[in-house]
Amino acid sequence: MTATDTGPARSAGPALSAAWRRVRDLLPGRADWQAVRRSPRRDLVAGLTVAVVALPLALAFGVTSGLGAEAGLITAVVAGAVAAVFGGSNLQVSGPTGAMTVVLVPVVAQFGATGVLMVGALAGLILIALALARLGRYVRYLPVPVIEGFTAGIAVVIALQQVPAALGVTGAQGEKVWAVAADAVTRFVVHPRPAAVAVALGVAAVMLLGARWRPGLPFSLLAVAAATLLAELVPVDLVRIGALPQGLPAPSLDFLDLSAVGVLLPAALAVAALAALESLLSATVADGMTVGQRHDPDRELFGQGLANLASPLFGGIPATAAIARTAVNVRAGAASKLAALTHAVALAVIVLAAAPLVGRIPLAALAGVLLATTVRMVEAASLRALARSTRGDALVLVLTFAVTVIWDLVTAVAVGVGVAVVVALRAIARSAKLEQVPLDSGEHTAEERALLAEHIVAYRLDGPLFFAAAHTFLLRLSDVADVRVVILRMSRVSTIDATGAHVLGDAIRRLQGRGITVLLSGIVPGHDQVLDALGVADQLRRDGLVFPDTPAAIAYARNLALAPAGDRYWHQSGEGESVSAAVH
């Protein structure tokens, strides 16, 4: 082997080693298993409690996604187990969620069931790439109004999705969820089915009222069981879930279609973005409900990525962490990953042992479960507080909510974040100030002090000088008149960008063009690089008009203003002339 042949191999070695270390950091470690050994009995009880709550939700979200109740159960079992083992939170419970079904409905309509499985696998790969790139930490920067508007919008969309099942209507059509709901209402008026409405509202009422009376009881399961028993005893026309397989299907890669990757990639990006967002928000909420628990955002993305790779193999839909089930897990006393893993195993046992009974559940009962869930999702007090806080927060909240309901979730987050950034930039730009400050006249005579006051003015720049604030600065500084010297105190400029530096240079040239000498003082070391790169301070430095501090600039300005007329001379600078003093 020649020397040139060994170069790439040697350079590839450290890269592969670093990549392996990164993957190893994302895998379960000794601390995870130590947490499992602390209180296994409490974790087992918490897992069984969550399974009871998760069963009707998994069935309902599977039906709502368009792939059926079976897909919901498979997702809860497979994705729930994988995410529990590999995720970055000890408390997180994963599975099908309402937010995810909102994204999947149009995917099912456009690409069918196999398209959804392919989208889930692609989303899993994207999530793993995000984890390897250490991007999990950036979700914490999402503004609260975006999150609250997003959550409230999801709640409305899920409620609209339940309208056909709650009304007992099949075959409702429409491009958007609100159009489908409107079509279902029209069909219901023509052929009303009061039994479905009664079941849906009854289940929702039992869940909401029961949660206030005895929060610890699984009223969702009790209400669904009662509705199923009533439907068996009373001859009413209710659509049921239908037959379910008694066990998990064998893993298969039949859904893979590499030629469709380009077409499905936008949907996969949307699913991955939603999975990352919802999972990390859920983990943050779980941390806030406990003492001493902190999740690893990158490991959480890695676990969710593996879960979404595994779920399609068995016919499951894309999954994410579920805030409601995670909250139940925390309240039940969970302290390790064993609780979430127990939840997945318990659901698998239910699938194996009680599939025929589960298939008899009315769809209207599941619609009632999700209607109650949407009511719980909306924190009215939080929404009111945000709406009253500032106009900017209210605008972001309303826009995110409206776009979520009218268009889709990913667009809503993009619009909400975009508007929030604009509002924040506007607020920061308003914090930038150009303030005239008095000069210390020292021991000068009254005549000299009057001369200084007439011919020298000092301005202090406070805050950021960047593109959003620069033009206001230019207008204010250009209005300066009837002075010989302007001192710009730069020590309090927090940041400056290329636009700010350019506008500063433009203002200096305009003042010089009117015969006004401009002095700069106190330039922060990090800012002179921007000014020098754009040539803003070059001429002033050559003329000796840049000073390390304000007292030095004031002393020079005094000499300039108090010097006899014969000792002053004009020199060319920029676009025009400025006056300087001959110091003898």
Ranges 100-114, 148-162, 231-245, 445-459: which has the least confidence: 445-459
Instruction: Find the mean pLDDT for residues 478-496.
Output: 82
Residue 75's pLDDT is 95
Q: Residue 193: what pLDDT? A: 87
| CB contact at 8 A, 546 and 552 | no
Going by C-alpha positions, the residue among 371, 421, 379 that lies closest to residue 399 is: 421
CB neighbours of 19 closer than 8 A, spacing ≥ 6?
Answer: 132
Q: What is the mean pLDDT of the chain?
A: 82
Residue 576 pLDDT: 39
Q: What pLDDT does 195 receive?
A: 92
CB 100 within 8 A of CB 76: no
Reply yes or no on whether the pLDDT at 142 is more than 80: no
**Confidence at residue 217, expressed as pLDDT on a 0 to 100 scale:** 77
Count CA atoms closer than 13 A to 477's CA, side-chain side.
29
- Residue that the structure tokens 């790779």 belong to: 309
Confidence of residue 481 (pLDDT cuts 50, 70, 90): low
* DSSP assignments along 208-245, one per residue: HHHHHH-TTS-HHHHHHHHHHHHHHHS-----B-----
Higher pLDDT, 77 or 147: 77
Average pLDDT, stretch 200-218? 87
Task: Label residue 134 exposed, middle or buried (CB < 10 Å: 0-12, 13-18, 19+).
Answer: middle
The confidence score (pLDDT) of residue 453 equals: 62
Residue pair 369/162 in contact (Cβ under 8 Å)? The answer is: no
Contact status, residue 433 vs residue 463, Cβ threshold 8 Å: yes
User: What is the per-residue pLDDT for 282?
Assistant: 81
Categorize the per-residue pLDDT at 96 as very low, low, confident or very high, splitting at 50, 70 and 90. very high
pLDDT exceeds cutoff 70 at 17: yes
d(CA 14, CA 32): 28
Among 72-86, 375-389, 502-516, 565-579, the range scoring the smallest mean pLDDT is 565-579
DSSP for 89-101?
-SS--EE--HHHH
Tokens representing 352 are: 């194996």
Binned at pLDDT 50, 70 and 90, residue 574 comes out as: very low
Q: Is the pLDDT confidence value at 575 over 70?
A: no
312-321, 408-417, 426-435: which is most confident: 312-321
pLDDT category at 197 given cuts 50, 70, 90 is very high
Q: How far apart are CA 555 and CA 549, in angstroms?
A: 11
